[in-house]
């Protein structure tokens, strides 16, 4: 499918919702906020998604859907999540989360069943397994024990999105004692609720959340329900591995849905900061306000570079993408939370308004922690990164070849997604090698190149991140082989956090470099070294790296782009897409 068709789909969904800031729009911000106050969705919102056929975006093309590129799926979600995370998650994205194990490990019959459900407008829900350190969303669970004719399923689970509205159920159930079975204590069942005995399955009361109030988090109680053997996805005992493999598909989407909400929050704060008071002045006259707005825009660009790399790596680097997906899903919510805190201080008391022109900010502030899947998600992402870093330190860093150029190209087509090739642990780190190659390329750049002053500054900043990678290599080389206890220390968790920011710098450098040579790349802002200079300076300050002087002129150009996009109603991501 051509890029133009993807863009048309994204534009059509944006147009279907109309202007967010139009009080007369029945799907605008005022309507969404009013509906959320009643723990509901705006009338017509779900109908608009049904008419668009959002569920088809979650079904692989070979099964009759429209899913062929994961980066495109991330972008299609943005018009929804810019408006209402409850709608985006509750109506659609949770269906993809539930379907991911089926696409990865289901039989042809199981895959066809889920495709029929989604393409027919039905929902599927997922009940995940217990996590020892998790919050209440993941603490209770189901069990399944062998019985004549199949498995007997019992248990109770709360916090399931669309539990009462879903026909398809993907259930993680304990099938063995953990002490005996180790990592093979859980299995995954695919169930058709229409076939389950009604007297054995009961809906549990709705689960209230401080954010995403309109999403229907409910629960299920199942008592001694016999399910057929063919309901098992993969093999009995595959549950944990299937959960990890599913996360490889899911994590790359987290930055897209997080940045969509922050995009709306930033737009709200820009509107506040640029309003003229009676004396002709505005909040934008204050340097601190300009810094906060610029920083938030830079964080959005970082998140989108991470989203681009994590989703395109599913296609291009299936054996290396694990660390990239986890890093993107870990770092994007963290950057978003910091930006939201800074912007709340700019809004001041207006940040507490539940309605009116600035009410969308508080809505996005409440939704963000739920959207990014909470504490258990953050810790889990770091845990999946850490075991890979000693291997990278010994065998990959400063040895690997750089990532392919297509990883950083915004519109270039991709090979088909092959879920069977995805590896839980990466065998190399080509994205880190891109950082090293960028440093070498900037060292050899011709000084007569226009903007060479900015390039010299970018070279200095890139060198600082390359030195940080060397420090990480030394730290992780010293970890004894297979010493998981050492890796679980707070010190190494901190090093993993630093690694994610090194990857973020590499992703931004890769996107900028490819804008200089990608066929059809015509965005002068993305080709300008100003934004990667400002990004690396901001990331470097977070890391406490030795830095050169502040790149004031680069930050000014970034702010000018921000204000221009606000005026022209364009998104604050890499694409600058038109908004309704």
Q: Which residue has the tokens 């053997």?
A: 229
Q: Pick 443 or 194 by higher pLDDT.
A: 194
**Are 229 and 89 found together in one domain?**
no
Task: Give the dihedral sign, CA 146/152/155/157.
Answer: positive
Burial of residue 445 (number of CB atoms within 10 Å: 0-12, 13-18, 19+): middle
Mean pLDDT confidence for 516-543: 89
CATH number for the domain that contains residue 412: 1.20.140.10
CATH number for the domain that contains residue 154: 2.40.110.10
pLDDT band of 207, cuts 50, 70, 90? low
Q: By the 8 A CB rule, do 331 and 254 touch? A: no
| pLDDT value for 377 | 66
3-state secondary structure 338-407: HHHHHHHHHHHHHHHCCCCCCHHHHHHHHHHHHHCCHHHHHHHHHHHHHHHHHHHHHHCCCCCCCCCHHH
Q: By the 8 A CB rule, do 465 and 536 touch? A: yes
Between CA 214 and CA 470 the distance in angstroms is: 47
pLDDT band of 374, cuts 50, 70, 90? very low
- The last residue of one of the domains, among 70, 99, 120, is 120
- The last residue of one of the domains, among 214, 237, 260, is 237
Q: What would the pLDDT profile of 224-279 be if each residue is shown by its tens digit?
A: 999 988 999 999 999 989 988 999 999 999 999 999 999 999 999 999 999 998 88
**Distances 429 to 73, 191, 324, 397, 399 between C-alpha atoms, Å:** 25, 39, 9, 7, 9
Q: What would the pLDDT profile of 150-167 be if each residue is shown by its tens digit?
A: 899 999 988 888 888 899
**Are 116 and 130 found together in one domain?**
no
| pLDDT value for 133 | 37
Q: What would the pLDDT profile of 409-421 be if each residue is shown by its tens digit?
A: 998 999 999 998 9
**Are 270 and 205 found together in one domain?**
no
Between CA 404 and CA 408 the distance in angstroms is: 8
Q: What would the pLDDT profile of 559-569 be if each residue is shown by its tens digit?
A: 999 999 999 99
Instruction: Give a yes or no: residue 373 inside a domain.
Output: yes
Q: By the 8 A CB rule, do 250 and 242 touch? A: no
CATH number for the domain that contains residue 95: 1.10.540.10
Q: 416: which DSSP letter?
A: P
| pLDDT value for 39 | 82
**Are 458 and 541 found together in one domain?**
yes
**Are 318 and 350 found together in one domain?**
yes
- The last residue of one of the domains, among 68, 86, 120, is 120
Beta carbons within 8 Å of 381's beta carbon, 6+ residues apart:
251, 326, 327, 329, 330
Instruction: Give a yes or no: residue 530 inside a domain.
Output: yes
Four-CA torsion 559, 563, 569, 575, nearest 10 degrees: -20
| Residue 226: closest CA among 270, 191, 177 | 191
Q: Which residue has the tokens 């217990």?
A: 130
Task: Give the dihedral sign, CA 551/553/557/562.
Answer: positive
Between CA 428 and CA 313 the distance in angstroms is: 13
pLDDT band of 135, cuts 50, 70, 90? very low
Q: What are phi and psi of 427, to 5 degrees?
A: -100, 5
**Are 417 and 519 found together in one domain?**
yes
**Are 383 and 494 found together in one domain?**
yes
pLDDT at 42 over 70: yes
**Distances 226 to 173, 359, 575 between C-alpha atoms, Å:** 13, 49, 50
What pTM was estimated for this model as a whole?
0.94
Between CA 321 and CA 307 the distance in angstroms is: 12
Share of the chain above pLDDT 90, in %: 73
Instruction: Give SS3 for 101.
Output: helix
**Are 317 and 448 found together in one domain?**
yes
| Residue 435: closest CA among 473, 408, 469, 388 | 469
Instruction: Give a yes or no: residue 480 inside a domain.
Output: yes
| β-strands 217-227, 150-161 pairing | antiparallel
pLDDT band of 136, cuts 50, 70, 90? very low
**Are 392 and 419 found together in one domain?**
yes
**Are 491 and 511 found together in one domain?**
yes
Instruction: Give a yes or no: residue 46 inside a domain.
Output: yes
pLDDT band of 185, cuts 50, 70, 90? confident
| pLDDT value for 300 | 98
Instruction: Give a yes or no: residue 208 inside a domain.
Output: yes
- Provide the domain limits for residue 152: 126-237
| pLDDT value for 375 | 41
Q: 148: which DSSP letter?
A: T
Instruction: Give a yes or no: residue 576 inside a domain.
Output: no
| Residue 17: closest CA among 94, 84, 107 | 84
**Are 87 and 228 found together in one domain?**
no
pLDDT band of 1, cuts 50, 70, 90? low
| Residue 337: closest CA among 286, 371, 387 | 371
**Are 33 and 166 found together in one domain?**
no
**Distances 414 to 257, 317, 514 between C-alpha atoms, Å:** 22, 11, 16
Q: By the 8 A CB rule, do 370 and 336 touch? A: no
| pLDDT value for 447 | 46
| pLDDT value for 549 | 93
Measured in whole angstroms, the distance separating CA 463 from the mean position of its chain's CA atoms is 28
Mean pLDDT confidence for 168-190: 86
Rounded to 10 deg, the angle between the 287-316 and 490-517 helix axes is: 80
Instruction: Give a yes or no: residue 361 inside a domain.
Output: yes
Mean pLDDT confidence for 90-109: 93
Instruction: Give a yes or no: residue 580 inside a domain.
Output: no
Domain count, the chain: 3
Between CA 330 and CA 327 the distance in angstroms is: 5
């Amino acid at each position: 499918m051509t890029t133009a068709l993807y863009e048309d789909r994204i534009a059509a969904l944006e147009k279907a919702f109309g202007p967010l800031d139009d009080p007369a729009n029945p799907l605008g911000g005022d309507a969404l906020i009013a509906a959320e106050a009643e723990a509901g969705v705006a009338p017509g919102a779900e109908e608009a998604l049904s008419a668009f056929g959002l569920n088809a975006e979650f079904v692989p093309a070979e099964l009759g859907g429209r899913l062929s590129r994961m980066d495109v799926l991330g972008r299609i979600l943005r018009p929804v999540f810019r408006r209402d995370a409850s709608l985006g998650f509750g109506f659609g994205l949770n269906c993809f989360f539930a379907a991911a194990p089926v696409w990865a490990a289901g039989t042809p019959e199981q895959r066809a069943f889920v495709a029929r459900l989604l393409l027919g407008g039905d929902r599927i829900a997922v009940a995940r397994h217990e996590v020892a350190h998790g919050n209440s969303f993941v603490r209770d669970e189901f069990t399944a024990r062998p019985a004549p004719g199949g498995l007997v399923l019992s248990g109770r689970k709360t916090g399931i999105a669309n539990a009462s509205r879903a026909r398809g159920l993907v259930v993680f159930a304990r099938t063995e004692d953990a002490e005996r079975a180790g990592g093979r204590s859980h299995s995954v069942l695919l169930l058709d609720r229409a076939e389950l005995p009604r007297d054995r399955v009961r809906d549990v009361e709705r689960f209230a959340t401080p954010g995403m109030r309109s999403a229907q988090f409910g629960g299920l109680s199942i008592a001694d329900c016999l399910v057929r053997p063919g309901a098992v996805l993969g093999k009995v005992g595959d549950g944990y591995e299937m959960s990890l493999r599913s996360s490889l598909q899911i994590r790359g989407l987290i930055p897209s849905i997080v940045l969509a909400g922050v995009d709306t929050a930033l737009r709200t704060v820009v509107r506040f900061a640029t309003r003229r008071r009676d004396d002709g002045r505005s909040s934008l006259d204050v340097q601190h306000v300009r810094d906060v707005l610029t920083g938030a825009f830079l964080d959005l660009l970082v998140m989108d570079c991470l989203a681009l790399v994590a989703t395109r790596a599913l296609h291009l680097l299936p054996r290396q993408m694990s660390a990239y997906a986890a890093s993107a899903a870990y770092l994007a919510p963290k950057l978003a939370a910091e930006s939201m805190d800074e912007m709340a201080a700019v809004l001041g008391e207006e940040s507490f308004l539940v309605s009116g022109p600035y009410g969308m900010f508080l809505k996005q502030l409440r939704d963000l922690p739920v959207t990014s899947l909470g504490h258990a998600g953050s810790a889990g992402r770091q845990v999946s990164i850490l075991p890979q870093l000693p291997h990278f330190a010994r065998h990959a860093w400063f040895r690997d070849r750089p990532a392919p150029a297509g990883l950083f190209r915004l519109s270039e087509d991709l090979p088909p997604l092959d879920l069977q090739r995805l590896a839980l642990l990466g065998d190399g780190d080509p994205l880190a090698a891109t950082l090293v190659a960028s440093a070498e390329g900037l060292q050899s750049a011709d000084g007569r190149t226009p903007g060479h002053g900015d390039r010299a500054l970018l070279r200095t900043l890139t060198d600082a991140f390359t030195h940080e990678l060397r420090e990480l290599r030394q730290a992780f080389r010293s970890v004894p082989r297979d010493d998981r206890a050492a890796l679980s220390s707070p010190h190494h968790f901190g090093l993993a956090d630093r690694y994610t920011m090194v990857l973020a710098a590499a992703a931004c450098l890769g996107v900028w470099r490819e804008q200089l040579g990608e066929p059809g790349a015509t965005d002068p802002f993305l080709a300008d070294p100003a934004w990667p200079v400002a990004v690396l300076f901001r990331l470097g300050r977070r890391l406490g790296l030795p830095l050169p002087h502040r790149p004031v002129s680069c930050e000014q150009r970034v702010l000018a782009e921000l204000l221009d996009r606000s005026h022209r109603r364009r998104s604050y991501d890499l694409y600058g897409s038109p908004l309704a």
